[in-house]
Chains A and B, each alone.
Chain A
Amino acid sequence: MNGKPMTRRNLIGALGTAAVSAFPAAALAAGWGQSEKRPASGPFLQVALVPCPDYDPERLLEAIRAGWRSTRSPDIRGKRVVIKPNIADFAPDRPIHTDARLVEAIILHLGDLGAREIVLAEGPPHNRDTEMLFRQSGFEALARRRGVPLIDLNYDDVRPVDNVNPRATLLRNLYLPETILSADVIISVPKMKTHKLAGITLSMKNMFGILPGMKYGWPKNTLHWNGIPLSICEINGTIKTHYSLIDGVIGMEGHGPIMGTARKAGVLVMGVNALSVDATAARVMGIDPARVDYLALAHKIKLGSLRSEDIAVAGEKIEQARADFVLDPEYTFLRAPKG
């Protein structure tokens, strides 16, 4: 790590002033993404937008099955599947974490599909008391009930992996947990939330949680100094998320991802390509994904597409599902015009 004076962009990420800045081209090398090849025209990415008004177990399972069927979902049979929920923190009166009932329904669904092994894994970002977070959020009981391992990624065995970005400076390699590296299929299951540093947090930002705190600190401050948009893209470029399933039944608006307030969107957003799933979820939140700098960067380096013309949305129409999430004043520029 160098000892250069801090720039405003560093400060934004590392400390939390909340404007979104332009991205320096020097940090980029085009085309290190892993997404499917873009055709000349027409949608090539499938996203399911499935109505789900509450956390009733039967309704959740039905919604997951419907969304799974309508996307090019991965083959699960005989695979070791790692589910990565978002358990950023716990508060009894705020929906900070992915609802454990949704994850339980996913476990049942994956079991029906013939998964060989299912693992739950998360590395909470700033509270080191993972034992309590897992218990309070209901994931400890869920893991016991369903007989699945629940791994604290902050203290998992680790291995350095080359950063996919050839121009990476601060993070030339990423120390990644063996639980993630040994997975056949990774499913990112975030909460639909606003985020005080990134604008919004969905599937791609959720993958911050795979980097171990014991190497990157709490909060994962090294990643903040690297720049949040760049870190998100480097992580998602290096480790492929095979499926994303966003908990938008009840999300968080305002000063997320911890101190915001509950906002019902009543949907699950699902698909293979994390960027297109995130872009669709952003539109549901009333946000223009092209104005979210890490989504724009991910599009630029071909981690998928955020363009609506590239994404075939099955199920509910975005306009019908749209639930404009309240934005902090410095993020009002993210708002997408209606119509």
Chain B
Amino acid sequence: MGPIKPMSNLSLARALDFIKANQNPDGGWGYRPGGQSLVEPAAFCLLALKAGGDKAATGGGLDFLKVCQKDSGAVGINPRDPEGSWMAYAALLAFHALGAATEERRLSDWILSFEDASGRLTPDNIKAISNDYRYDASIQGWPWTPNTMAWVEPTALFIIALVRSGVPPTHKRIRSGVSLIFDRKVRSGGWNFGNPYSKSHELEASLLSTAIALAALDAAGVPESRPAVGEGFRFLIRGLAGDVSTASLAWTLLALKSSPAGAFQAPIVAARLARLQAADGSFRRNLFETGLACLALGYPEVLLRGSGRSG
């Protein structure tokens, strides 16, 4: 590793220029330049532009997201998607940041009514899952798609977005989501997509899932003194010793910035992430990752509570 050097304002400006240059005619953004406009990359590009003070490009982007909202308040993956799903978390963050109060309230209400499959399970189902996967399937969280099982990442992403949107962490859905995250913890520390075991086999945690889960627990006001939180951070730190992807590094940086204990590591991770920026200003020429990296490096308050946890 070279010297620690956080992302400069100039680097942030180049990333924002890349985002602006790749806005689609419909106002949205795809994951890659020229790709179909989709809610998650569009929302993160908007969040980065808004945080960076750009006003020109955000209007069209907000219009794109508004078109994606259905009468029910739901948001799917794009305007043609007939059902709401997980990308609604990103739209909620964007509606909040851009002051689209009516759309934000309708979407927040929909997310709070967006159900997983836990209510459809019989006691025998729950027992079978407990035997095979060793988690409590009666705990309600959020699924990727309607009426399927809840998983760690969508639950965590919705917690982050709802709290940012002003829903109190004491809300029963958020409390239940926090319970689910704790219940799905991998025994040796950290989280994966949501199965701590498969029969007798303990499954491995992943950096991306762990970082998002930790950021969500911070959003929900869970103190760092909880053992699972400390184990999660130790898993993150161990993971940083190896190769790490752009998205995992960005979410790890956000998780570390949410924690007083992460203060030492955060600048090192920030410098490592900043070095991944390409000459064209992008991160992997991926518009979602470019927006996410901008937020993690320059504007974490868009996603995080702000002051970090107390012990």
A binding-site residues for B, Cβ under 8 Å: 1-6, 11, 14-18, 91, 126-129, 131-132, 135-136, 155, 157-158, 160, 196, 213-219, 221-222, 224-225, 255, 258-259, 328
Contacts and interface: CB of A to CB of B under 8 A. Distances in A.
A259 B196 CA distance: 13
B77 interface: yes
Interface of B: 30-31, 35-36, 38, 40, 77, 80-81, 83, 85-87, 117, 120-122, 125, 128-129, 132-133, 137, 143-149, 151, 153-154, 192-193, 195, 198-199, 201, 203-204, 206-209, 243-248, 284
B86 A131 contact: no
B144 A217 contact: yes
Contacts of A160: 80
Given A127-B206, A132-B243, A136-B243, A16 B198 contact: yes
A15 B204 CA distance: 18
Given A129-B245, A218-B193, A221-B145, A158 B151 contact: no
B36 A214 contact: no
Contacts of B193: 126-128, 218-219
Contacts of A155: 31, 38
A160 B129 CA distance: 33
B30 A17 contact: no
14 contacts: A1-B148, A2-B147, A6-B117, A15-B137, A127-B193, A128-B193, A129-B245, A129-B247, A136-B243, A157-B35, A214-B40, A221-B151, A224-B148, A258-B198
Contacts of B153: 128, 218
Q: Label chain B's interface by main secondary structure.
A: loop
Contact of B198 (A2, A6, A136, A196): A196
B41 to A, nearest CB: 9
A158 B36 CA distance: 8
B146 A1 contact: yes
Contact of A16 (B80, B87, B120, B133): B133
A267 B234 CA distance: 43
B208 A217 contact: no
B278 to A, nearest CB: 14
A214 B284 contact: no
Contacts of B132: 15-18
Contacts, number: 121
A224 B149 CA distance: 10
Given A214-B77, A218-B153, A259-B203, A11 B148 contact: no
B83 to A, nearest CB: 8
Given A132-B243, A158-B36, A225-B147, A255 B198 contact: yes
B145 A217 contact: yes
Contacts of A91: 204
Given A3-B147, A221-B143, A129 B77 contact: no
Contacts of B199: 196, 255, 328
Nearest to A216: B145
Given A3-B147, A215-B77, A225-B148, 8 more contacts: A15-B129, A131-B246, A131-B284, A135-B245, A215-B81, A221-B148, A221-B151, A258-B203
A157 B36 contact: yes
Contacts of B151: 217-218, 221
Contacts of B146: 1
A292 B146 CA distance: 29
Contact of A11 (B81, B125, B198): B125
A196 B132 CA distance: 11
Q: What are the 5 closest A-B residue pairs judged by CB atoms, nearest first? A: A217-B144, A131-B245, A221-B148, A259-B201, A157-B36
Nearest to B83: A1
A214 B137 CA distance: 23
Instruction: Select the residue from A1, A2, A328 with max chain B CB neighbours within 10 A.
Output: A1
A259 B243 contact: no
Contacts of A14: 117, 148-149
A49 to B, nearest CB: 31
Contacts of B149: 14-15, 221
B248 A3 contact: no
Given A6-B117, A6-B120, A136-B243, A214 B128 contact: no
A213 to B, nearest CB: 8
A127 B148 CA distance: 17
Contacts of B83: 1
A225 B80 CA distance: 23
Contacts of B120: 3-6
Contacts of A218: 144, 151, 153, 193
Given A126-B193, A217-B143, A11 B77 contact: no
A129 B133 contact: no
Given A157-B30, A259-B203, A132 B244 contact: yes
B198 A259 contact: yes
Contacts of B245: 129, 131-132, 135
Nearest to A219: B193
Contacts of A157: 30, 35-36
A221 B142 CA distance: 13
A135 to B, nearest CB: 7
Nearest to A132: B245
A222 B128 CA distance: 20
B149 to A, nearest CB: 6
A131 B208 CA distance: 11
Contacts of A216: 144-145
Given A1-B146, A214-B38, A217-B144, A132 B248 contact: yes
Nearest to A12: B128
Contacts of B284: 131
Contacts of A258: 198, 203
A222 B243 CA distance: 32
A328 B125 CA distance: 21
